[in-house]
């Protein structure tokens, strides 16, 4: 496809690719309760939750270890803790959605998640993502790039600080 050929020529940096995932996930969450067809909104939210879990996975598995090795131990520690907080919100949200997507608790949890994401993503984009294209060696960068393209979250995976 011409589109695929064009994007292969101008491959985004890792920082851009990671930031793009933030925006795509945000869009799926923000669309909930905005007057669209309820079932479509629910599906978009479920997809965004899955995408966020996968995003957390790829950061913890393919990105953060290299950042820690590069000396960014403290910021990575904070990010892992925040992933744990978001993971618990996602678990609660998933349970509520299964029971009843119209439950007011769903809106409350979405607000909570939105605030968590704003703080978290802002820090990643300012402090960690600018290192993505320099801190990872060729092999690690390729692994991350490959996963970003079409990697799947292992079904039983939970983030490091979920407990
Ligand atoms: Fe993150
Ligand atoms: Fe992120």
Distance 22 CA to ligand 2 centre (A): 6
Q: Tens of pLDDT along 14-49?
A: 999 999 999 999 999 999 989 999 999 999 999 999
Superfamily of segment(s) 12-150:
nmb1532 protein domain like (1.20.120.520)
Residue closest to 152 by CA, chosen among 58, 83, 64: 58
Q: Which long-range contacts (CB under 8 A, 24 or more apart) does 77-82 make?
A: 78/123, 79/120, 79/123, 79/124, 79/128, 80/159, 80/160, 80/161, 81/161, 82/116, 82/119, 82/120
Q: How far is the CA of 86 from the centre of ligand 1 (A)?
A: 9
For the chain, give every domain's residue range.
Answer: 12-150
Q: Which pLDDT tens digit goes with each residue over 73-101?
A: 999 999 999 999 999 999 999 999 999 88
Ligand at minimal distance from the CA of 76 is 1
Spatial distance between the Cα atoms of 64 and 70, rounded to a whole number of angstroms: 10
């Amino acid at each position: 496809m011409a589109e695929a050929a064009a994007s292969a020529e101008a491959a985004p940096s890792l920082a851009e690719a990671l930031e793009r995932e933030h925006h795509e996930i945000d869009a799926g969450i923000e669309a909930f309760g905005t007057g669209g067809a309820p079932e479509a909104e629910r599906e978009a939210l479920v997809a965004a939750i899955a995408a966020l879990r996968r995003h957390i996975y790829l950061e913890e598995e393919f990105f953060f270890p290299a950042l820690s090795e590069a000396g960014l131990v403290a910021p990575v520690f904070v990010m892992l803790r925040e992933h744990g907080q978001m993971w618990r919100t996602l678990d609660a949200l998933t349970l509520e959605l299964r029971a009843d997507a119209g439950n007011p608790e769903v809106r409350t949890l979405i607000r909570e998640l939105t605030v968590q994401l704003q703080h978290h993503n802002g820090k990643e984009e300012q402090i960690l993502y600018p290192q993505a294209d320099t801190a990872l060696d060729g092999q690690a960068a390729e692994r991350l790039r490959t996963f970003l393209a079409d990697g799947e979250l292992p079904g039983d995976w939970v983030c490091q600080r979920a407990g």
